[in-house]
Amino acid sequence: MAIQKDFLTDIKPTWCPGCGNFGMWTALAQAYVSLGLEPHQVFMSFDIGCCGNGANWHNVYGFHSLHGRALPVATAVKFANHDLTVVAIAGDGGGLGEGGNHFLHASRRNVNMTFIIHNNERYSLTTGQTSPTTKPGQKTKTALSGAIDEPLNALQLALTAGATFVARGYSDEVTHLKALYEKAIAHPGFAVVEVIQPCVIFFDDENIRERYKPKLHKLEDEKWSPNDRQAAYVRSGDWENIAIGVFYQEQRPTYESHMPQLATTSLLKQKPKQDISRLMKQFQ
């Protein structure tokens, strides 16, 4: 049986000291272990960004995709091999900006995979520009007098588009986050986990991690029932009294189960019905 270090490579992370990505990385490896998974049973699709650099230190099958394209890659891999546990990772920039369209359609499609959005309210790898989740008034490299646009809310988008599992965690709450990841991965459908991930470098607030703490409340302590989409929409929109936990979950047949070509067997295990060798030769 695999242990936590089996899911980590020997490469030393280049994230800044104090970055919220460390907690998320640890929680995910712990969740894989708790679920009894082995590294060869997991595929991860990474977006571009600080979060995406995690591709180098997660010891699983992986693909470092283009910016905004983590979800299409993950979808294709799930279709090709149903046996893999598929997890896609993106920042708020890649997930809601460049990849926003993919996020909406993946939410309504309900392929059996997990999407983790690192929400640090910045395009951090490119040194702190305004992102789709930057709050109005926050000063960034591209909003010197403060951001103007209304921010997107990842969970409200997922709920509106039809996602069947919607949760939020906080990168410093590693044990809580690990439990959320476990539930998301075990969920038979498209599971969205937004993680509040303070970027300690590109916030004008020097104590960004401490600023969140008094505002965070666990849904479990509110005796929350995750079966009311509208209530989940309202609760996930409160950024003063910020809730973490599972907002919403429902069982709905996956996209794969509707497709006769995919319902019972992965593409990988099917015999080709046509000889495509001549076609493939053209690309050699």
Ligand X SMILES: Cc1ncc(C[n+]2csc(CCOP(=O)(O)OP(=O)(O)O)c2C)c(N)n1
Residue with tokens 């030769």: 281
Residue nearest to ligand X (CB): 91
Query: In 3D, which of 240, 166, 244, 208 has the Cα closest to residue 18?
Result: 208
- Least distance (Å) from ligand SF4 to the CB of residue 188? 32
> Interface residues for ligand SF4 in 10-29 (CB under 6 A)?
15-16, 19, 21
| Among residues 8, 201, 231, 242, the one that binds ligand SF4 under rule CB under 6 A | 201
Could you say which of ligand SF4, ligand X, none residue 19 binds, taking C-beta under 5 to 8 angstroms by partner kind?
ligand SF4
Half-sphere exposure of 164 (CA within 13 A, CB side): 21
Could you say which of ligand X, ligand SF4, none residue 140 binds, taking C-beta under 5 to 8 angstroms by partner kind?
none
The length of the chain, given as a count of residues: 284
Residue with tokens 């960034």: 140
- Least distance (Å) from ligand X to the CB of residue 119? 8
| Among residues 42, 159, 167, 199, the one that binds ligand SF4 under rule CB under 6 A | 199
Could you say which of ligand SF4, ligand X, none residue 98 binds, taking C-beta under 5 to 8 angstroms by partner kind?
ligand X
d(CA 167, CA 102): 19
Q: Where are the alpha helices (DSSP H) in 62-207?
A: 70-80, 92, 100-109, 154-161, 174-186
Could you say which of ligand X, ligand SF4, none residue 111 binds, taking C-beta under 5 to 8 angstroms by partner kind?
none
d(CA 85, CA 38): 10
Binding site for ligand X (CB under 6 A): 47-51, 67, 91-94, 98, 118, 120, 122-126, 131
The answer to whether 245 touches 167, Cβ cutoff 8 Å, is yes
| Among residues 154, 158, 180, 200, the one that binds ligand SF4 under rule CB under 6 A | 200
